[in-house]
Structure 1
Amino acid sequence: MNIGIIKPDYKITGGFEVVINHIREELEMSGHNVEVVYVDATERGLSYIPFPIRAQDYEQNFEFFNYINYFWRYLRMDLSKYDTVISTQPPSFAIQHPRHIALFYHHSKIHYDLSELIQEVGLDKPFHKKVQEVLREIDSLSLAKVSTILAGSKTIKKRIAQFNGLHSNVDLFYAGIDNEIYNYDGPIAYQSPIVVGRHEFPKRPELFVKAMKKIPSIQGRVIGEGGRTDDLKKIDQLLTFADNRNIEIPDDVVWKRLSNGFFQQEQRELLQKSQKSHLKSNVVFTGRVSKQQLFKEYANALCVVCPAYEEDYGLTAIEAMSFKKPVIACTDGGGYAELIKDGVNGFLVEPTSEAIANAIQRLANDPERVKRMGNNAYETSRSYSWKNAMNKITEIII
């Protein structure tokens, strides 16, 4: 069978790229001819939109018009040489084909599940609500034509029902995790709590950093980096100083305002004082790490904290569980929340630094509980193999 995978190319290699490569390799080993059709998603322009757009309108909301431009590009693609096509990130699901599978992990998030938060924080662009209305309408029309939508989690399936009104053509697909992680059998220790992932809004590593200030005798480790890393380090300095002076900065201010670089005068003054104080933080920033170093971080972690808001899937949590680590996630964590059985393989807590700190402290105080919950977490991770994942893909394709 000739299979085309339609993939927007963002010039990065992240979790989605790993999933696509694995699916391609597995399908090829099963005897299928597979071609990944990359479409450069970094270009800005209007060349595919069949009607005129004023330059000033484009500049005011270029992200929207880029989306529409790519929507038309995918809509016009000739994919007739393939027996089956698999679309991936939005708006690649606009492609037209009688056997179309959409591997679906998220919408244009700022116009869907993050829309209200984006407006609250002040990150919305002009005409946000009208843009949102247009995107939701064209997305719904496209997705309704897809043969099968494979939602990456129950959270995503729920969003498709909520925002696009689709149920009958939606199934679940849980991606497997890296085989080296799934089959890890090296040494395990329980030392520092860690948070792993990109530093982007609203992943909320800021809540982890603030939680660590409430348990100063414990060292926390922040693994990874991203567009918000510099602000995250400033927040750590600021919170270290504020805690030393018994100054409370609310959680919402920390992860909604400071994480986006919105420091008010009072906070800027505190930050300047903190930089002069040279107080030692109990949070270590590792920066980006190699795969082997990541394995060591997981293997030596007391627990893994996954504080993100409305996560699509929860890959980090499953990886952590493969290393027999309890996972702490938040009740509004989306895909993370659906993986946690509270008190069994981790803790599901309110999205506050206080709740996260309490959960970490409970684990630090009870080594036997940590090991017991870690073993339960490991059993949970056994469901997320690539063998199980490809069984679902094969079932749909055949």
Structure 2
Amino acid sequence: MKIGIVKPDYKISGGFEVVVNRLKLELEQMGHQVQMVYIDATDQSINEIPYNLTNEMFHKNPDFFRYINHFWKYLKMDLNRFDCVISTQPPSFAIQHPRHISLFYHHMKVYYDMSNLIQEVGLQQPYHRKAVEVIREIDTKSLSKVSTILAGSKTIQNRLAEFNGLSSNVDVIYAGIDPEIYHYDGELSYVNPVVVGRHEFPKRPELFVAAMKLVANETGVIVGAGGRTDDLKKIDQLLTMAAKEQISIPNDVIWKQMSNGHFHKEYKDLGQLAKKKNYPSNIRFTGRVSKEDLFKEYSKALCVVCPAYQEDYGLTAIEAMSFKKPIIACKDGGGYAELIEDGINGFLVEPTSEAIAEAILKFSQDKTLAVRMGNAAYETSRKYTWNNTISKLNEHLIF
């Protein structure tokens, strides 16, 4: 079968790119001819929109109009050379083909489950509510025409029902993890609390930083980098001083304001003072790491903290579970929360630094607890194989 995988090209390689690349390889090993079909998602033009658009209109809400422009690009694509097509990130599901499967991991979240949060923290563009209305309407019309939507988690399945009213053409597919991680058999130890992932809003590594200031005798490890890394390091420096001098900073200020570079005058002044005093931090930043170094960090982790808000799936948690590590996730963590049996393979806590710190302390004070929950986490991870993923996909490849 000739299969086209249609994907926006964001010029980055993250968790979803890993999933798509593995999916392509698995399908090829089954004997299918698979071709990636990319559209440059960084393209800033708006030439595809079939109506006049003034500069004034565009600059009032550029992200909205870029989305509409890309929507039209996908809508007009000729994909008749393929027997089946698999769309991926939005708005690639606007493509038209009689045998269309959508591998659906998330909406354009600022117009959906993050819409209220975006407005709360002041990141919305003008006419945000109208943009939300339009995007949801055109997305729903396109998604309703898709033969099968394979949602990447139950969390996503629920969002499709809530926001788009879709359920009859929706099934759930869980991506497998890298076989090298899945079959890891190296040495394990339980040393440092670790958080892994991109530093973007609202992944909330800031809550982990704040939690570690309440676990002063432990060193926390932050693996990864991103657009918010510099702010995260400033927050770490500020919170280190705040802990030393018993200055209280609310959790919401930390992850809803500071994480987006919004340091009000009071905190700017404190930040300058923290820079001068330069207290030693109990956080180690690794930056981006190789696969080998990622394995080392997982293998030495006391536990892995997944503090993200409304995550789509939870690949990091499953990877960590394969290393027999217990997980700490937040109750509003979306896909992460799906994976946790509280008190069995990890802890599901309130999204506060205090709750995260309390869970970390349980493991640091009782390593046998970390080992026991880590073993349970390992058993959870055994469900997430690529064989299971491809079996589920095959159910829908045969129309």
The TM-score normalised by the length of structure 1 is 0.99
Within 2, Cα distance between the matches of 1:58 and 1:274? Answer: 41
Within 1, Cα distance between the matches of 2:354 and 2:20? Answer: 38
In the alignment, structure 1 residue 358 sits paired with structure 2 residue 358: yes
Identity of aligned residues (%): 65
Determine the structure 2 residue equivalent to 1:145. 145
Within 1, Cα distance between the matches of 2:16 and 2:281? Answer: 34
Deviations 1:267-294 (A, max 9, x none): 1111111111121111111111111000
Q: What displacement does 1:16 show? A: 1.2
Deviations 1:105-129 (A, max 9, x none): 0001001010000000000000000
Tell me which moved more, 270-279 or 155-164: 270-279
Deviations 1:11-49 (A, max 9, x none): 111111111111111111111111111111111112111
What pairs up with 1:58-137 in 2 under 5 angstroms? Answer: 58-137=58-137
Determine the structure 1 residue equivalent to 2:5. 5
Q: What displacement does 1:319 show? A: 0.3
Tell me which moved more, 184-193 or 44-53: 44-53
In the alignment, structure 1 residue 277 sits paired with structure 2 residue 277: yes
Within 1, Cα distance between the matches of 2:278 and 2:59? Answer: 43
Within 1, Cα distance between the matches of 2:59 and 2:265? Answer: 31
Within 2, Cα distance between the matches of 1:33 and 1:64? Answer: 35
Determine the structure 2 residue equivalent to 1:348. 348
Determine the structure 1 residue equivalent to 2:387. 387
Q: Aligned letter for 2:342? A: D
Give unmatched runs, 5+ long, in structure 1: none
Within 2, Cα distance between the matches of 1:173 and 1:38? Answer: 23
Tell me which moved more, 292-301 or 238-247: 238-247
Determine the structure 1 residue equivalent to 2:300. 300
In the alignment, structure 1 residue 213 sits paired with structure 2 residue 213: yes
Q: What displacement does 1:344 show? A: 0.4
Determine the structure 1 residue equivalent to 2:28. 28
Within 2, Cα distance between the matches of 1:32 and 1:215? Answer: 52
Q: Aligned letter for 1:390? A: I
Determine the structure 2 residue equivalent to 1:231. 231
Q: Aligned letter for 1:168? A: S
Q: Aligned letter for 1:278? A: N
Within 2, Cα distance between the matches of 1:316 and 1:81? Answer: 36
In the alignment, structure 1 residue 176 sits paired with structure 2 residue 176: yes
Within 2, Cα distance between the matches of 1:218 and 1:8? Answer: 41
Deviations 1:39-64 (A, max 9, x none): 11111112111111111111221111
Give unmatched runs, 5+ long, in structure 2: none
Kindly report structure 1 stretches of 4+ aligned residues shifted beyond 3 Å.
Answer: none
Determine the structure 1 residue equivalent to 2:46. 46
Within 2, Cα distance between the matches of 1:290 and 1:235? Answer: 26
Within 1, Cα distance between the matches of 2:210 and 2:383? Answer: 33
Tell me which moved more, 264-273 or 135-144: 264-273
The TM-score normalised by the length of structure 2 is 0.99
Three-state SS of the structure 2 residue aligned to 1:117 is: helix
Q: What displacement does 1:166 show? A: 0.2
Q: What displacement does 1:395 show? A: 1.5
Q: Aligned letter for 2:340? A: I
Three-state SS of the structure 2 residue aligned to 1:107 is: coil
Within 2, Cα distance between the matches of 1:44 and 1:229? Answer: 25
**What RMSD, in angstroms, separates the aligned Cα atoms of the two structures?**
0.7
Three-state SS of the structure 1 residue aligned to 2:335 is: coil
Determine the structure 1 residue equivalent to 2:196. 196
Within 1, Cα distance between the matches of 2:192 and 2:182? Answer: 22
Q: Aligned letter for 1:133? A: E
What pairs up with 1:313-352 in 2 under 5 angstroms? Answer: 313-352=313-352
Give the total of aligned pairs. Answer: 398
Within 2, Cα distance between the matches of 1:26 and 1:368? Answer: 38
Q: What displacement does 1:161 show? A: 0.2
Q: Aligned letter for 1:272? A: Q
